[in-house]
Homo-oligomer: A and B are copies of this chain.
């Protein structure tokens, strides 16, 4: 408001700028090709400052994975309204997921492509996040199944398998949506609802798909 601008920014602001630059660079160019020079330049800070704050390229990459994983999990949790009926919860969670991955394509590339391509310790970081998402989806499907009928025909292992299928499908679709011009987050979410919801709904009402009688 007319005050003299300080050249000294709060540490948190600087760190965020560095992390933003790092996610963009790692996501677009990959872990190996990304240089600390490039990241520092994009963040508008000196390279020694990046090392001072974030220590090493490996630490910086790990910090990016953690930040992007937390943001994605938070976006999905915030998107689900627990007051909605089961299909509304699933729809709102998928909308939140695909909106977040569409709006943060570099972050999604870091999590889904880069973090898995460079061995440990990065894979472990992203596995923790994936397990958290699977647990959350398992809870959603389990709650919906209990809501649908009192004598649960869906055993825990079925619910666990369905959650794995849903998460795997969402991961695959998010990559496809980001790589395919013109696919919106809503369209990707609707594709997955169409794919998944009718089957889940049938299962929850104990109407499973039956293999043909002659199949072993």
Contact = CB atoms under 8 A, between A and B. Distances in A.
A10 interface: no
Given A165-B169, A166-B169, A168-B173, A158 B191 contact: yes
Contacts of A197: 199, 209
A172 B183 contact: no
A171 B173 contact: no
A167 B171 CA distance: 10
A171 B157 CA distance: 17
Interface residues of A, number: 52
Interface in A117-149: 117-119, 123
A92 B191 CA distance: 23
A165 B167 CA distance: 10
Given A117-B117, A119-B118, A193-B209, A176 B160 contact: yes
